[in-house]
A and B are shown apart, each in its own frame.
Chain A
Amino acid sequence: MDEKEAHTQRLKAAVHYTVSKICQSTVAECEKQISKQAVAAIAETTFRQCEIFAKDLEAFARHAKRQTITVDDVKLLARRSTALSSHMQQKSEELAMNNQELKEKRKKNAAKRKSKEMEGNEAEETES
């Protein structure tokens, strides 16, 4: 139990660190100040919101009879707010594009390697 709590504390600290970074950059943009308490409150809210998100995503994945949470589940989570869901849509398309590019690169590399190996084999064969 103690170990679990320590783990929670570490997670919270990590969230707090990232939240304070984001807050600092936002504050620098708007030229305003933000109190430490406000940052801490945002961090705590973020942490609890994550719990809710996790439960909802789990329910959505189970609903679609999957064990793995996918982009579709996340999109379903953000469906209610139009701005957020369009943002998500855009991001997911970007991700899909990147993934496809990576896959194609890998394919090309694999093809190159194969052709090289073939050449090597042919060379060996001619040598022998």
Chain B
Amino acid sequence: RSAGVLPKSYVMSVFKHFAKSKVASDVYPVISDILQRYFDRLADDLEAYSAHAKRKTIEVEDVELLMRRQGFVTDSMPVNVLIEKFLPLEYRKLLIPVATSGNKVVPDQRR
């Protein structure tokens, strides 16, 4: 399993964006390994959460619960804020319908 889960250039650019200091290029194998484990774990957790809600499909709620358990989503930091902070506009449009509907106010569909 030499190929990483994500393309090398993408991983390195994201890592360099968030790292406060210069990044040596030989950290890539380590990051790739960590990412692999992270995604394995992610899949495992999401499976458990969707099974817990007696579903066979992983839905947005499961991911939100996962992020809550990971500590990214808290009472003072809702998912929508994270989406607006970290995702590009086209994904935001997909996830937050209000952003695409002009001035029409659409109630939050996930509640």
> Across the interface, which residues of A come within 8 angstroms of B52, CB to CB?
60, 63-64, 72-73, 76
**Chief secondary structure at chain A's binding surface:** helix
Q: Is the pair B48, A76 in contact by a Cβ cutoff of 8 Å?
A: yes
A76 CA / B62 CA spacing, docked (Å): 13
- Number of A residues near B (Cβ < 8 Å) is 10
Once A76-B48, A79-B48 are accepted as A-B contacts, the answer to whether A59 and B65 lie under 8 Å apart by CB is: yes
A66 CA / B53 CA spacing, docked (Å): 9
In chain B, what residue has the closest Cβ to A64?
Answer: B53
- Residues from 59 to 75 in B contacting A, C-beta threshold 8 Å: 61-62, 65, 68-69
Does B54 belong to the interface (CB within 8 Å)? yes
**Chief secondary structure at chain B's binding surface:** helix
Q: How many whole Å from B58's CB to the nearest CB in chain A?
A: 12
- Residues from 75 to 99 in A contacting B, C-beta threshold 8 Å: 76, 79
Q: Is the pair A59, B53 in contact by a Cβ cutoff of 8 Å?
A: no
In chain B, what residue has the closest Cβ to A79?
Answer: B48
- Residues from 20 to 62 in B contacting A, C-beta threshold 8 Å: 48-49, 52-54, 61-62
> Which B residues form the contact surface with A (CB < 8 A)?
48-49, 52-54, 61-62, 65, 68-69
Complex A-B: 22 CB contacts under 8 Å: A56-B69, A59-B65, A59-B68, A59-B69, A60-B52, A60-B65, A63-B49, A63-B52, A63-B53, A63-B61, A63-B62, A63-B65, A64-B52, A64-B53, A64-B54, A65-B53, A72-B52, A73-B52, A76-B48, A76-B49, A76-B52, A79-B48
Given A60-B65, A72-B52, 14 new contacts (CB under 8 A): A59-B65, A59-B68, A59-B69, A63-B49, A63-B52, A63-B53, A63-B61, A63-B62, A64-B54, A65-B53, A73-B52, A76-B49, A76-B52, A79-B48
